[in-house]
Chains A and B, each alone.
Chain A
Amino acid sequence: MGGGHGETISVTLRVWRQDGPDEPGRFDVHHQTISTDASFLEMLDLLNEELNAAGEEPVAFESDCREGICGTCGVMINGRAHGPQKATATCQLHMREFSDGDEIVIEPFRAAGFPVVRDLAVDRSPLDRIIEAGGYISVGTGAASDANLTPVPKVAADQAFDAAACIGCGACVAACPNSAAQLFTSAKIGHLGLLPQGQAERWSRTETMVETMEEYFGSCTNHGECSEACPKEISLDFIAFMNRDYIKAKVRNRALTGQH
């Protein structure tokens, strides 16, 4: 590891380039000399400056907050979603995590549900489709009662928060050998299902969200790679919670409509 101010390292980048969704891709090789204080994305900014100056199109990659909270960034770095540092989104990764002489392979998130749109940018909109299928509590504006009317046990609130911390980056899907979206989906189901406010729709929500997830993504075979890659360290326990609720939902939803 680097560390300290102003150290400079030289790295070789193998960067995935792809002109469009239906175009073939290729790796381009670039050599970069870079301060270890630079963030990984600032290193790509510099690469893009050089490419632009040389008359080559810059590498498309996405980012926005660069603070690890919006979930816009995300690439595969040496085969790992968001790269080598645990609990760290790509934008929070700094070059001090690399050493002089390293070769760094940079690819887009690879998943059947996330088609590449260009270079390192992918389409993650299926995650929105899962939320649309029930990732909400149905309370219209103005229909809420006083916020302190229903106490929420602190442990439940804290656990719900652990799930709600998901930033929707999709690294879990990219890390999964089956491109499954179980961790993302279960984080939302866990967040709402653990709160008293979320009980009325708990079973219908679980059913519709899980089934929508299955339309777009692969199935879970318990590898656990998702949680390893997750920048928010969302726990695998939520997948267990979701699976239990899904089985129950099948029964309960029928019961609710009187079809015992």
Chain B
Amino acid sequence: MSMDSDTAAGTGTSPRLDSKVPAGATADKWENHKFSMKLVNPNNKRKFDVIVVGTGLAGASAAASLGELGYRVKAFTFHDSPRRAHSIAAQGGINAAKNYPNDGDSVHRLFYDTVKGGDYRSREANVHRLAEVSVNIIDQATAQGVPFARDYGGLLDNRSFGGAQVSRTFYARGQTGQQLLIGAYSALMRQVAAGTVELHTRAELLDVVLKEDRACGIVTRDLLSGEVTPHSAHAVVLATGGYGNVYFLSTNAMMCNVTAAWRAHKKGAFFANPCYTQIHPTCIPVSDDFQSKLTLMSESLRNDGRIWVPNGMDDARAAADIPESDRDYYLERKYPAFGNLVPRDVASRNAKTVCDEGRGIGPLKNGVFLDFQAVIARDGVEAISAKYGNLFDMYHRITGENPYDQPMRIYPAIHYTMGGLWVDYHLMTTVPGLYSIGEANFSDHGANRLGASALMQGLADGYFVLPYTIGDDLAGLLGQTAVPTDDPVFTEAVRGVEDEQKRWLSINGTRSVDQFHKQLGRIVWEHIGMERDKAGLEQALTDIPTLREEFHSDVRVLGSAATLNQSLEKAGRVADFFELAELMARDALEREESCGGHFRSEHQTDEGEAQRDDENFAHVAAWEWHSEGTAQTRHREELSFEDVALSQRSYK
């Protein structure tokens, strides 16, 4: 099993995990630190090459900002255009402590809510900085032309989101992610035109290259020609998104994957809290075997819809035929104070419980009703259609059912991953010169992310944090040239990638990559999903390696490596998911507590709520890779809470 890095003491931060959090009061740290960091003078910036992988919100904002500062940036995406990144799909909104509605919001309150919402498993200093720069993001995006919602006076409108008690969420219809990404993308394209950013599209990172323990570049494969190319730089930034697709079915875009982060992990970057994954309660349930992804129905629907299942098991009647007396509005019953608006994890787990009891609805009995009849009767069809029209239409298009006439069917689905590459206060991983930003890192959300906070974090990292912190490190490298790409470290890495492609093509087994991915997803969902327990996690730890072995001997990838070959692309990504899945199970097993998105059924209160163990687990678990077949080492970074008192969440 795993080795704890400091088993002797049992506690204390591993010496490998220096968070570099500056001294001083939490609220002053960032301001003071900005002043104390080293600067690179404007003329010297052009002597540094920086690679940014990923052009979602985090990557595009970072690449654009670094380009503006004068660094020589190379930006990479495996999409055909930077504008396609998964960030584009975010619907609900982005938080910022602007306090425009004058309802009592402040940097401190956003900081406090985020630490509490993360179930006290995030680093206070990082979260505070995030809350501080949140206000700048709204200014920046607005100046770029992001058409946020406005009131009739022409000023910006806010809404309350995800159970927050203040209205701090800025939104752009149901397309906030799209509009923010177009803003960041346009800033990026401006730098491409200015010549400060060299853009590489359809280029997939397949390895991170180190020289003398420092990141010096990457290896990419051109997805059209298959050409494998080394790229060198003084620093490498990974902004490659989350790993929710390890579950196969998730709300993530089809191409989201862990490959960049995982390959960095195998080169020495510690992977933190892989078991922290977030379930979103309102998604359209799985309907068929051929289903390729899950669709999110915005959380805002819970403001007006009532969630229920029949009282009895296997009730096959249509919703309209089930009288009130036979319905169980279980959230309203169990949580009178919050009702249908309980946090994501609580709503999700309760849906699972009633379905497990056999009270699920729909053809596969795998959903619960989200019912709008009461609000339609109260406010009229028109009012509801003005609010939710596009969501109702989307639901109708996908399911063929009309939510104006019958309740929606919903079920939880994987949505976001809080775990990721461990980074210090500078957003640098445990590999010097290698950074990680956005969903790809583990930083600010602890064990649970609040709604509308991922967009905020990605853009905070990219626009306002990394451009400062990276200079402190680069300043020390002045006069050093980047490692040339004909250095043996690069030629070896290129050969490794080429060999990997050949290996996939040579197996010629019987099952497709997707079939394996689906099967893996089922194991991960079953055992490392909404609820975990020891027996299930141990089962996963035998099932995953078994299936993985079959994958490596029986997968069928046809065609060649010298053309667009989507099965070949997927093979490498699924291989990495297999290894990640195993680490998720191990991480979940070791974390003998429930917190946020990690619910261990052995650790719950009498009322069935998550039971944290602050004494033993108020730490980040960061895993160190050694080699194929060797157990990874679990390191810990202790978390201390100076400004936010630890308490048990309650929504009764």
Give bound CA distance, A243 to B394, whole Å. Answer: 34
Give bound CA distance, A194 to B467, whole Å. Answer: 31
Could you give, for residues 110-151 of chain A, a 1 whenever the CB lies within 8 Å of some chain B CB and a 0 otherwise? 000000011001011101100111011111111111111001
The interface on chain A, measured as residues whose beta carbon lies within 8 A of the other chain's beta carbons, has a size of 83
Contacts of B81 in A (CB 8 A): 124-125, 127-128, 168
Give bound CA distance, A161 to B147, whole Å. Answer: 6
B193 near A133: Cβ-Cβ < 8 Å: yes
B89 near A69: Cβ-Cβ < 8 Å: yes
Q: How far is the CB of B221 from chain A (nearest CB, A)?
A: 15
A49 near B515: Cβ-Cβ < 8 Å: yes
- Is B152 located at the chain interface by the 8 A CB criterion? yes
Contacts of B398 in A (CB 8 A): 39, 92, 94
Option from B89, B179, B291 in Cβ contact (under 8 Å) with A67: B89
Give bound CA distance, A157 to B179, whole Å. Answer: 13
Give bound CA distance, A42 to B514, whole Å. Answer: 12
Give bound CA distance, A37 to B363, whole Å. Answer: 12
The interface on chain B, measured as residues whose beta carbon lies within 8 A of the other chain's beta carbons, has a size of 81
Which of A56-64, A171-179, A251-259 is found at the contact surface with chain B? A56-64
A88 near B397: Cβ-Cβ < 8 Å: yes
Contacts of A96 in B (CB 8 A): 400
Contacts of B151 in A (CB 8 A): 154
Contacts of A102 in B (CB 8 A): none
Option from B186, B224, B255 in Cβ contact (under 8 Å) with A137: B186
Option from A60, A138, A142, A168 in Cβ contact (under 8 Å) with B564: A60
Option from A37, A67, A157 in Cβ contact (under 8 Å) with B147: A157
Give bound CA distance, A31 to B632, whole Å. Answer: 49
- Is A29 located at the chain interface by the 8 A CB criterion? no
- Is B516 located at the chain interface by the 8 A CB criterion? no
- Is B29 located at the chain interface by the 8 A CB criterion? no
A125 near B172: Cβ-Cβ < 8 Å: no
- Is B8 located at the chain interface by the 8 A CB criterion? no
Given A41-B292, A42-B292 in contact, is the A154-B186 Cβ separation under 8 Å?
no
8 Å CB interface, B153-167 against A: 153-156
Please give me the residue from chain A that is nearest to B467 by CB atom.
Answer: A141
8 Å CB interface, B555-574 against A: 556, 558-559, 563-567
Contacts of B179 in A (CB 8 A): 161, 164
Q: How far is the CB of B225 from chain A (nearest CB, A)?
A: 10
Option from B153, B172, B397 in Cβ contact (under 8 Å) with A94: B397
B463 near A66: Cβ-Cβ < 8 Å: no
Chain B CB count within 10 A is highest, among A49, A147, A161, for: A147
- Is A247 located at the chain interface by the 8 A CB criterion? no
Could you give, for residues 20-61 of chain A, a 1 whenever the CB lies within 8 Å of some chain B CB and a 0 otherwise? 100000000000000111110110011011001101111010
Could you give, for residues 197-233 of chain A, a 1 whenever the CB lies within 8 Å of some chain B CB and a 0 otherwise? 1100000000000000000000000000000000000
Contacts of B631 in A (CB 8 A): none
Q: List 15 A-B contacts (CB under 8 A).
A: A37-B400, A39-B292, A49-B512, A67-B295, A69-B88, A70-B85, A94-B400, A132-B190, A133-B193, A141-B61, A141-B68, A144-B143, A153-B154, A154-B152, A164-B145
Task: Given A38-B288, A70-B89, A152-B150, output 13 extra A-B contacts at Cβ < 8 Å.
Answer: A38-B290, A52-B512, A57-B558, A64-B255, A117-B224, A121-B564, A124-B80, A128-B83, A148-B156, A157-B147, A161-B172, A168-B83, A192-B145
